[in-house]
Amino acid sequence: MKKIPVILITLFLVISMALMINLNKIESEEAFLNEDYFLIIGHRGASGYAPEHTIESYKLADEMGADYIEIDLQMTKDGVLIAMHDDTVDRTTDGTGMVNEMTLEEIKELDAGSWFNEKNPDIYNEAFVGLTVPTLKEIIEEFGDSVNYYIETKAPHQNPGMEKSLLSLLNEYALLENPLSGEVIIQSFSEESLKIIHNSDSSIPLIQLQGKNDIKKMTKQKFKEINKYAIGIGPSFKYIDKQYIDNAKNEGLVVHPYTIDDPLNIEEIATWGATGVFTNDIKAAEVIAQ
């Protein structure tokens, strides 16, 4: 008889642990839709501390506690998706030329890290010398499901088929099996690109990026229209105010402004009701988020 209480206690502990695991899972899922959770998105990785869009930059962003690593996508001449913001390699490598006019082999020959040391001699790091431009596949193989990905389709009009290649790769690595987990968010300035993805899989969370002119044109109806294919908006911080955020949230949209490094500005948009921020300075954002 004395064994019964022990069995009951053990059973209680097992059930309690299972419930806790399940609750934690629920809390982690759809965090990108939770207004009480302020997302920190590592802009091009930890680009304030390492060369943008390199494996080292993404690793550092993860170590610093970013909720997402942002990856801008360009497509090479031979149809490979790589991590690069500009449509040329000029700014962030020692080469020159349009990305879509160069093969992956040509791009892999470039140094994608030394420029950062030259620009930031106070935080010079020998490990950055000779870093290469990573492909999206290499990034996914490096991090797997240990990080969350915030991916942007850049200049999709110059790279037809980018969306199909992106979804194919994400599916290959089973990153879209549970879209509501928020493991992958896709963003673009191109409404057409987002709608291509939405029409392919309406469960994938999408973000409509907006610049100055887009923001100026926003009306209640336009917020409603965006809500038909996207879960939120990524506006330039310079051109928004609290009313803009209120209007977006009233239509059920999350708001992730870009790109803010000043802690006071990050705190300001948090008090306005923004649900996340793109930042080069993850350390500054972490302080505010806490």
Positions marked active-site: 43, 85
Do 43 and 278 contact (CB within 8 A), yes or no? yes
Beta bridge partners of 4: none
Residues 6+ apart with CB under 8 A from 42: 57, 58, 61, 62, 64, 66, 68, 69, 70, 279, 282
DSSP letter at 134 equals: P
Query: Could you tell me the end-to-end alpha-carbon distance of the chain, in angstroms, rounded to an integer?
Result: 50
The 10 Å Cβ neighbour count of residue 176 is: 18
Q: Are 69 and 134 in contact (CB under 8 A)?
A: no
Give the residue ranges of DSSP H helices in the chain. Answer: 3-28, 55-64, 104-108, 114-119, 136-143, 162-172, 191-200, 212-216, 220-227, 242-250, 263-272, 282-289
- Among 150, 138, 142, which Cα is nearest to 279's? 150
| Token digits of residue 175 | 């990153």
Residues 10, 184: Cα–Cα separation, whole Å: 38
